[in-house]
Amino acid sequence: MVVGAFIGKKCAVTGAGGSFGRALLTQFQLQGAELIALRHSDEPLQLINANGQAVPLETICWRVGEEEKLAQMLQEVDILVINHGINKLGARDTAAAIASLEVNTLSAMRLLELFLKSCSPGTKDREVWVNTSEAEVNPALSPLYEISKRALGQLLSLRSLDAPCPVRRLVLGPFKSALNPYGFMRAEAVAAAVMKQAIAGKKLIIVSPNPLTWLLMPLTEWGRNIYNRSFTQAPDQ
C-alpha cells in the first residue's frame, strides 16, 4: 500500500464514533490526511496511534435533519465518507421504519447532495465515499436495515450518473460493531482493506467473506446503470 496517499487532504467521516468510523479515521491518519470526525455525541473523539500518542482530530457534533448546517464545512473537505446509520434489530413498527429511512437513506442523500453541490463539474481532486453495506444484495438479519440501505444504494446508483466528482461505494460485510452484534470481522481489518482498494482506484469497494457479494454487487450495479440510463434523463436535458 502506498504510504501518504492522502497527504494534505482534509477528510471528514460521519459515524466517526463507531468502530468502523474510528478505524477508517486511523487509516486516513496513516496516509497523512487531516481528520474531521462528524458524530452525534457532544464528546470530542480521541484517536491513539500505534505509538500511544494522541492523533490531532477535529470533532464536529451534528444531528440528522440538520445536514444543511454542515454545508460550509463540506466546501473545505476533500474527501467525505458517509458512514453513519442505525439498525433497528427486530423492529417492524412504523416509527422504526421511518427512523431507519431518515437516518440510513435520507440523511445520507442530503449530505451527498450538499457535497456534490460544492464540487465543480469534472472535479478529480475531491471525492465522496458512501457506506451502503452488503445488505444491498444479501440478508442482514434486519429487514428495516436492509430496506433502508437498499434504497440508499439505488439512489446512489442513480445520482452517481451525474456526479461532478468521483463517488466510491463501500459494500462491507459483517464486522463487529454496536450496530451489528452478529458481526465477526474486525473493523480495523475492514478499514485497512477499504483503504487499500481506494488507493488502488476502485470505485466499487467490496470487503466481505461472502463470495455471493463479490458476484452479485457488480452485477447489480451494472444492471442499475443500464436501467437508469435507459429510463431517465440527465438534469440539463
- Kindly list the catalytic residues: 145
At a CB cut-off of 8 Å and minimum separation 6, what does 31 contact? 2, 3, 4, 5, 6, 7, 195, 199
Strands 167-172, 58-61: parallel, antiparallel or unpaired by DSSP? unpaired
- Under DSSP, is residue 82 helix (H, G, I), strand (E, B) or coil? strand
Which DSSP category does 185 fall into?
A: B
Closest CA to 88 of 147, 167, 19, 130: 147
DSSP codes, 109-151: HHHHHHHHHTS-TT--S-EEEEE--GGGTS--S-HHHHHHHHH
Q: Would you say 47 and 29 are in contact if contact means Cβ atoms under 8 Å apart?
A: yes
Element of type H or E holding 60: strand 58-61
Q: Would you say 145 and 135 are in contact if contact means Cβ atoms under 8 Å apart?
A: yes
